[in-house]
Structure 1
Amino acid sequence: MDAFYASVEQRDFPELRGKALAVGGSPDGRGVVATASYEARKFGVRSAMSSRQALLLCPHLVFTRPRFDVYKEVSDSIRSIFRRYTDLIEPLSLDEAYLDVTTDKMGIGSAIDIAKAIKLAIQEELQLTASAGVSTNKFIAKIASDFEKPNGLTFIGPSKIITFLERLPIEKFFGVGKVTAQKMKGYGIYTGLDLKQFGEHELVRRFGKSGKFFYHMVRGEDNRPVKPNRISKSVGIEDTFETDMRERTEMITEFKLLCEKLEKRLSGKSKEGRTVTIKIKFSDFTQITRSKTSGYYISSAEDVLEQVLDLFAKVDTEEKRVRLLGVTLSNFYDADLEKLSNPQLRLF
């Protein structure tokens, strides 16, 4: 989806249309931008950017609070549209998914035409735009989906994949962030063709485990299937405060509220897990995480809070101000069960 949260807000509130909009954060410089409209992106405003920095780039930026319940409803409607065309749908987030259209439920006969039909249905029924990438595997389709945003459709056929990747700037490769891109440029890697000059062992030596991924991605190799029953690895919730917290009693109260909200999310997903993680971000934007793994599965607010308080007791917050708290549960029962059902082969 194109600037999903911001586009939903502009759809529902006409007075926001055409304006530089940030979903999340606040005009007093507190909080973090969740999504920026394309009008705001022209000024350099991006998701995960602090409100303070966003305002420096775009002083007339308009802020609005996120409505995640609405975004979830819209996401469900989008997936209902997907299901008209295929049952092989692997959601990545509320606004993104992989679709395998090998089995053509509507008998359209063309992956490109299916993508066009889905885009048109989303626009006509939900008054939103989406961008699609069509190709032979997930990695190439992902790159293609970002290539002509917003409201784009990019097809990269088998005969074009190698040429396309060789010409692609390295920062456009899915999985290559700003830090990695700068490191690659230090080795003279500016395009896919430059990356292709390095062997697999050399890339692993320079970039660790990611080197193997880089070696295969620049050759367009990705054999991962679309998994419709993709198992969530974690469920979390966090809150950024309008005013920094100083008192531990306030923080404990906030943790209690977060655990109650987390219990509702876990219940909706029928999840229970063994690992609790807390996240604390301080007023200087430094942050820490602390985790604890139990020998049993939990999901209730009471049980999660018990682990949270045990972790929090070991964190020194004296003379510090806290701007964000978060709680995450992971190591789910169903994920552990899948590992037992599909053990990894070990090489000796």
Structure 2
Amino acid sequence: MRKIIHVDMDCFYAAIEQRDDPSLANLPVAVGGNPQSRGVICTCNYEARRFGVHSAMPSAQAARLCPDLVFIRPNLAKYKQESIKIREIFNQYTDRIEPLSLDEAYLDTTDSDQCQGSATWIAQSICQNIHKQTGLTASAGVARSKFLAKIASDWNKPAGLKVILPHEELSFIDRLPVKKLYGVGKVMAAKLESMDIFYCFELRQVPLNILLKKFGKTGKYLFDLCRGIDEREVESRSSRKSLSVETTFDENISQWETCESELHQLISQLSRRLGDPQKLGHIRKVYVKVKQENFSLHTAESISIGLDVPLIIALFKRLRKQYPSPIRLLGVGVKFPENAGMVKHKQLDIPF
């Protein structure tokens, strides 16, 4: 039985800024670009969220929603230093760690003998140590799968802990809106809702053959997920082969030049997800991919040491020259040396 923990820092960037500047206490704070330009919100604290401000929102819109919002320019170097401290805490409990960004990670504690092997107690101890050593709070979710652990970590924010025991999985999943399923975006959610499927218990009533006919291979994925079946492994830095981010445009983009600002945002997002590249292994390649209006997919990649931004932009321009048709999706990613290791799981007669 796998024991997966998802740890998610609470308002990470904004929390660091408030910790370092006591005058910001109880004020709505957003870390992001200038509202007078085309800035975007990276993150914001809960005081700001009460006004409807959220990450990825244009800064100008955030300023209209919350006139007293305090904007702070991102300091990634400082955030990375805090992230390193947090990763060092993770390493005290397990070496099976999959960072998703500077502020969140999956941990596989199946074989950990810390806290008598209890994933619940490990999650509690991690959050306590994070607060003790950094002054920041984290929330955690504990379950048998990555899918459920990630949802659970968001359940009792901030500074919360949610444990989904094996016998509770189906009753928990049944109450979830289908849009909470991993990989179900606005388009897929709308298709499911057009079939009168709004919650997972409704999705679980649909036969597999109907889902396959409607959604192809994705139908099997939906069939499994609403039953709590998620066999994805926690990919530690020794086994991760690639990392990428992408965006699908609401409308096809005819003028590729307008995509360049989106490309820079994707590179910034990828940099945040990488965290400390040395801890993930040396980057071997960088690549850019585009999906055109006819759904054809094209990729350009090159050998690279580190996250080479000028090289990524050059790859993007190469694709633009080769395939000038309008595009619907843009993505950027990196590849690592292949070094996948086998993980042995053992049965432990201890609390979950």
Same fold per superposition (TM over 0.5): yes
Partner of 1:127: 135
Match of 1:233 among 242, 260, 266: 242
State the Cα deviation string for residues 90-124 of structure 1 (Å, max 9, x = none). 11111111111122333434221111111111111
Residues 75 and 94, structure 1, Cα contact 8 Å, conserved in 2: yes
The corresponding residue for 1:99 is 107
Spell out, residue by residue over 1:287-333, the C-alpha distance to the aligned partner (whole angstroms, 9 max, x if none): xxx97525x624486766654554566799xxxxxxxxx99454x36
Q: Assess, with a 3 A threshold, how the Cα gap between structure 1 residues 154 and 203 changes in structure 2: closer, same or farther.
A: same
Aligned CA RMSD, in angstroms, stands at 3.7
Q: 1:113 to 1:198 in 2, by over 3 A?
A: same
Aligned residues: 299
Q: Which amino acid aligns with 2:47?
A: E
Kindly indicate whether the alpha-carbon contact (under 8 Å) linking 2:282 and 2:336 is maintained by their aligned counterparts in 1: no
Contact 2:84/2:276 (CA < 8 Å) preserved in 1? no
- Cα 1:292–1:203 change in 2 (3 A) is closer
> Would the aligned equivalents of 1:170 and 1:189 in 2 still touch at CA under 8 Å?
yes
Structure 1 residue 293 corresponds to structure 2 residue 300? yes
Instruction: Determine what percentage of the aligned residue pairs are the same residue.
Output: 41
For residues 274 and 66 of structure 1, do their structure 2 counterparts lie closer, same or farther at Cα, with a shift above 3 Å needed?
A: closer
Q: Which residue of 2 aligns with 1:46?
A: 54
Q: Distance in 2 between matches of 1:193 and 1:292?
A: 39
CA-to-aligned-CA distance 1:35-80 (integer Å, 9 cap, x gap): 1111111111111111122223222221111111111111111111
Give, in angstroms, the shift of residue 158 of structure 1: 0.9
- Look up the equivalent residue of 1:273 and give its one-letter code: K
Partner of 1:31: 39
1:334 is the counterpart of 2:337: yes
Equivalence for 2:343: none
Say if 1:210 and 1:62 are closer, same or farther in 2 by CA, change over 3 A. farther
For residues 276 and 153 of structure 2, the distance between their equivalents in structure 1, rounded to whole angstroms, comes to 31
Which aligned pairs between 1:113-192 and structure 2 lie closer than 5 A? 113-192=121-200
Contact 2:109 2:117 in 1 (8 A): no
Aligned counterparts of 1:48 and 1:146: Cα–Cα separation in 2 = 18
Alignment partner, residue 88 of structure 1: 96
1:78 to 86, 102, 111: 86
Per-residue Cα deviation, 1:270-302 (whole angstroms, up to 9, x for no partner): 223263469xxxxxxxxxxx97525x6244867
Mapped contact 1:29–1:55 kept (Cα < 8 A) = no
Aligned amino acid, residue 19 of structure 2: R
Q: Which has the higher relative contact order, 1 or 2, with Cα contacts under 8 A spaced 6 or more apart?
A: 2
Q: Which runs of 5+ in 1 are unaligned?
A: 237-247, 279-289, 317-325, 339-348
Which residue identity is paired with 1:293?
Answer: A
The CA deviation at 1:17 is 2.2
Distance 1:156 1:266 in 2: 31
Please state whether the residue corresponding to 2:154 is helix, strand or coil.
Answer: helix
Structure 2 residue aligned with 1:322: none
- After the TM superposition, which parts of structure 1 deviate over 6 Å for at least 4 consecutive aligned residues? 312-316
- Verify the 8 A CA contact 2:277 2:283 in the aligned structure 1: yes
TM-score, normalised by the number of residues in structure 2: 0.72
Residues in 2 aligned to 1:305 and 1:29: alpha-carbon distance in whole angstroms: 22
- Provide the residue aligned with 1:215 in structure 2: 223
For 1:233, the aligned partner's letter is S
The structure having more radius of gyration, on CA atoms, is 1
CA distance in 2, matches of 1:37, 1:23: 9
Query: Which ranges of structure 2 fall in alignment gaps of 5 or more residues?
Result: 1-8, 246-256, 291-296, 325-329, 341-352
Q: Distance in 1 between matches of 2:276 and 2:122?
A: 34
1:151 alignment partner AA: A
Q: Which moved more, 1:198-207 or 1:122-131?
A: 198-207
Q: 1:293 to 1:128 in 2, by over 3 A?
A: same
Closer, same or farther: CA 315–190 of 1 in aligned 2, 3 Å: closer
Residue pair 2:35, 2:58 contacting (<8 A) in 1 also? no
Structure 1 pair 196/40, CA: closer, same or farther in 2 (3 Å)? same
Shift, 1:166, TM fit: 0.9
Report the CA distance shift for 1:169/1:329 in structure 2 as closer, same or farther (over 3 A).
closer
* SS of alignment partner, residue 48 of structure 2: helix
